[in-house]
Chains A and B, each alone.
Chain A
């Protein structure tokens, strides 16, 4: 509030006064002030976010050009507060014409408009890291890229002009030492290197699990080297772009589609603008919605009631599930390999759900349950979440995956679940991967998946399927354990029996014991679990 005593009349209308103050905010300025939205809040998290964005870009680029990713990450301490981060890949490289904008302009990307599964989407990830780096260290990011062995590698030092959201190139030269194809990014920023559950190491281990085709080399600030080897030489299938699926599309989206289409016939519109809607299905949908198939879509967009009926018909008429090829699931086999490569475990079960759709976006759920081995025995099960092959490291409690897992009563699956606990306890790891053309995150920082009922149901079903297998394994293990225990008991009984028989008959005790153990081992071990057939009921 202003405290000036000048009367209002002299100044003219307030609105005019206020209008002078209004101006547009650059998106870069906005994120400078709201960087927590992009995952730059705590110092340890800034580090992980930066590495994650760079690694995501590298993986996406390699897969698009069918290269088995080989990614090198190095963190160096500059001083107490500053870290220097290098991420280098063997990817296709980035053409020098677009490179500055890829790294130096927010919301610049190639994938925002495509209905196709990819790690990055909005194009704010790596440029946000560059922005954060220049804000905290004052230094530019250094990007080197080589797109062809015959062409030289270009090295840029660049910053983001926050007012215009445009890259500012401070230097551009040829890097003679950069000899093989790929891209390297170096950023200095205020960050903290930690160990434990939410650490770079954990992130890389999990990334390695869901990207079994990639190799990661990591040098930590203490100069220790960690290698996450490839578990498979097969590249993930490239997802294909598709049209939206009618299942779960939102009213506003449908209205917009009807408005902008050039097609003059509703049935043809349905047929060509949606995936899995053929002529026959389109007719059925129109009949169900009680709308003339020959109607002009643009006219229908004016009639909200009509659009609502059409939306209702989408739910009623059976439309085939979206095609799998727009998604790139890890596949159960590779998930298994990825987990086994990275963790020492006693048991693993995997499950995958058929492709489903929510809000017109195809999605699919894959789950793994691993048990035993080196998994922490104390406390509750570990939940490890992934979306489009990216580990979700934060906000576990706010995520649909967690909520779906918490709906399960684990006692039904031979597991311990303390009273009032939402998760089972013991050496259990539950891993869930959601692949989708558009994962519905709760926020831009992409930490947690929103509670979409269709997704939660599929997560629950997939996890339950794994839990059933684990349950069988546990009960067999229990049986085997009991049998072993019984055999041990028999062995100790046999000493007593042999001694008693030796006293009764005068025969050699060691010989009697050996004969007894012979029979136990050869013949009667199997009877430890069941009563021998030649036996009648005992007791008094």
Chain B
């Protein structure tokens, strides 16, 4: 551990050294920042993972549009180094934001105004140092809950039985590596990840996980890193199917792809957080016909939805014929449907009809 930390500290130091070299030689000081946009990620077919390319951008100090970001980058690097050196417990990225937020004397402005300014810079530093946030002693706040046949020994030494977590389920901790979250027992036949907490809650109330002997998990919308990493661990450590169940809209499709392939923004994290075996269980356009979902539950696609469909259609990891068809069918159909809408058939429809039918008949998209 200490050795790992030394390596991280020297990487952070290097950022500062590079800037100082520029200054000493009379150049406009700069840092190389990995470009984290769709143009600098590629889809690695072999591993089925989104990977970051090698494009970099220079971030200059003596440039009106970049000066503040430059300053913020150094502040965060400095703070991370200090936290690691002092062996403090991990801070959330919000707490880190607060430790650095102060007024810059004489400038009449703050170092940071909103967390939206510091979060992307933390990602920049993860990419520069090629180190995960968790190892930088920072944690993202997870939202995920799980219930099902699994027993875990927590870093605190507490043993958690996820069959006894009541109606709220067990929380996914911020760091899910083995030394924090040691899985002692796991007897599920498959893992079902649902997009929305409300749907997870309904299934949990009905003891769906017990009836079907599965692990029932939700990331509450777009999953945080901990949920994604945990799902990746499940895929690495257990040879059981993993199903993703989301809304029938481009946002839902994308959530599935983040679980399965990783995300553009955190491409450097994908190798640890992708879950290639994941399968898409629904909702799909075909389900509308197959299950005769009532028209009253359809919502018209808006401009933003249509734009997002276009974007997703062009992503390399959506090029499979099945997905291209799904996307164009959705566009043609012109409506989106939320997974919650299945209750319009009946309250138990999701757990008693829809999910068992899909799993038995292996009606998945991959």
A residues in contact (CB < 8 Å) with B: 486, 488-493, 495-497, 499-501, 503-507, 512, 515-516, 519-520, 522-524, 527-528, 531-532, 534-540
Contact = CB atoms under 8 A, between A and B. Distances in A.
A524 B28 contact: yes
B125 to A, nearest CB: 12
Contacts of B107: 488-489, 492-493
A489 B63 CA distance: 12
A490 B104 contact: no
B104 A536 contact: no
B58 interface: yes
B67 A490 contact: yes
Q: Which of B16, B19, B29, B57 has the most chain A CB atoms closer than 10 A to its own CB?
A: B16
A515 B24 contact: yes
A501 B16 contact: yes
B65 A538 contact: yes
Given A500-B75, A538-B57, A519 B12 contact: no
B17 interface: yes
A528 B75 CA distance: 22
Contacts of A512: 20, 23
Contacts of A489: 67, 106-107, 109
Nearest to B12: A504
Where chain A touches its partner, the secondary structure class is: helix
Contacts of A492: 104-107
A495 B63 contact: no
Closest 6 CB pairs of A and B: A504-B16, A492-B106, A524-B62, A500-B74, A492-B107, A500-B78
Given A504-B13, A505-B16, A505-B20, A497 B71 contact: yes
Contacts of B58: 535-536
A447 B69 CA distance: 62
A500 B60 CA distance: 16
Given A490-B62, A536-B58, A519 B28 contact: yes
Interface string B1-39: 000000000001101110110011010110000001100
Nearest to B80: A504
A524 B62 CA distance: 7
A537 B55 CA distance: 13
11 contacts: A488-B106, A489-B67, A490-B62, A492-B104, A493-B104, A501-B78, A503-B81, A504-B15, A505-B20, A516-B23, A532-B63
Contacts of B24: 515
Interface in B172-188: none
Interface in B105-123: 105-107, 109, 111, 120
B123 to A, nearest CB: 9
A532 B58 CA distance: 12
B19 to A, nearest CB: 6
A531 B63 contact: yes
B74 A486 contact: no
A155 to B, nearest CB: 71
B62 A532 contact: yes
B23 A519 contact: yes
B101 interface: no
Given A512-B20, A536-B57, A504 B65 contact: no
A505 B13 contact: yes
A493 B28 contact: no
Contacts of A524: 28, 62
Interface residues of B, number: 42
Nearest to B107: A492
B318 interface: no
A504 B78 contact: yes
A305 B104 CA distance: 83
A314 to B, nearest CB: 61
A497 B17 contact: no
B64 interface: yes
Given A528-B62, A540-B120, 13 more contacts: A493-B68, A496-B75, A496-B104, A497-B61, A499-B78, A501-B20, A501-B74, A504-B81, A516-B29, A520-B62, A527-B63, A531-B64, A535-B63
Contacts of B29: 516, 519
B337 interface: no
A324 to B, nearest CB: 51
Q: Which of B36, B81, B120 has the most chain A CB atoms closer than 10 A to its own CB?
A: B81
Contacts of B68: 493
B78 A519 contact: no
A516 B60 CA distance: 13
Given A504-B81, A515-B23, A527 B74 contact: no
Contacts of B70: 497
B59 interface: yes
A501 B62 contact: no
Interface string B277-301: 0000000000000000000000000
B52 interface: no
B253 to A, nearest CB: 23
Interface string B311-338: 0000000000000000000000000000
Contacts of A486: 64
Contacts of B81: 503-504
Contacts of A497: 61, 70-71, 74
A497 B61 CA distance: 10
Interface in B66-94: 66-71, 74-75, 77-78, 81-82
Given A492-B107, A503-B78, A528 B16 contact: no
Contacts of B26: 519, 522-523
A354 B168 CA distance: 89
A540 B36 contact: yes
A493 B71 contact: yes
Q: Which of B17, B61, B68 has the most chain A CB atoms closer than 10 A to its own CB?
A: B61
A522 B82 CA distance: 33
Contacts of B17: 504-505
Contacts of B82: 503
Contacts of A496: 71, 74-75, 104, 111
B28 A534 contact: yes
B322 to A, nearest CB: 32
A503 B80 CA distance: 11
Contacts of A506: 13
A507 B12 CA distance: 14
A519 B27 CA distance: 8
A532 B60 contact: yes
A531 B15 CA distance: 23
Contacts of A528: 62, 64
Contacts of B77: 500, 504
Contacts of A520: 62
